[in-house]
Amino acid sequence: MAKQIEGVSERILDCAKREFLDRGFMDASLRTIAAEADTTTGSIYTRFGDKEGLFQAIVEPVADEMMRMYMEIQETFHAFDDEMQKAEMGNYTSRAMDTILDYIYDHFDVFRLLLDASYGTKFQNFVDELVQIEVEYTYKYMEVIGCESVKSGMVTEEFLHIVTTSYFNGVFEVVRHRMEKESARRYVKMLEKYHMAGFDTIFSPEKYETYEKRALEESIGKNIRK
């Protein structure tokens, strides 16, 4: 077997990342990548198998590590006893998101590929896989706190999937908008507060029912006085 020339694989990966970022997986050209890397399409096939294998070589290590980190974050939290989960949920979530945001910005271009250039590959459902993990563990937390919304059937897995997808898409907008890291951190902190306030209406629906009832009574009282 012929010995592979040193440095060619690295050039191919660098040129492929640029081509995928510019054109997406579906429209990217192996001929263009080979020309930019000063090699042949044959050498790409030899090293990476095909175009998807080349894309995979770029994004899979980062995607796998993100999934591992996210699972570890979830498992660590749900190993806490019930009282600690209730007390620490907000702070723990905020610290975890800081860790995730650091990782995203350490691999910013790869996340751009995962989010907006992966259609046609096995990575096109990357965000949905994260959503599924979050939905599963959100259910576990809601069971811990004895959430009546789940017990009554008001909150379904479909509903949780919708709101969690909205949250993740919001977080990843910092990548799509290519925000500076500190601006992104402020944005995500605001999004966390917004998301948690919304979830509070699910975790504690009786509190909001009381508020809505009081507001209605005050409105009726004002109209009567007029």
- 3-state secondary structure at position 105: helix
Q: pLDDT at position 217, please?
A: 52
Q: For residue 123, what are its two tokens?
A: 């990575």
What is the mean pLDDT, run by run of 10 residues, along the chain of 226 residues?
A: 70 97 97 96 96 98 98 95 89 94 98 97 96 91 80 82 94 97 96 87 62 52 56
Q: What pTM, to 2 d.p., does this model score?
A: 0.84
**Structure-token pair, residue 122:** 């096995």
Can you give the C-alpha Rg of the chain in angstroms? Answer: 23
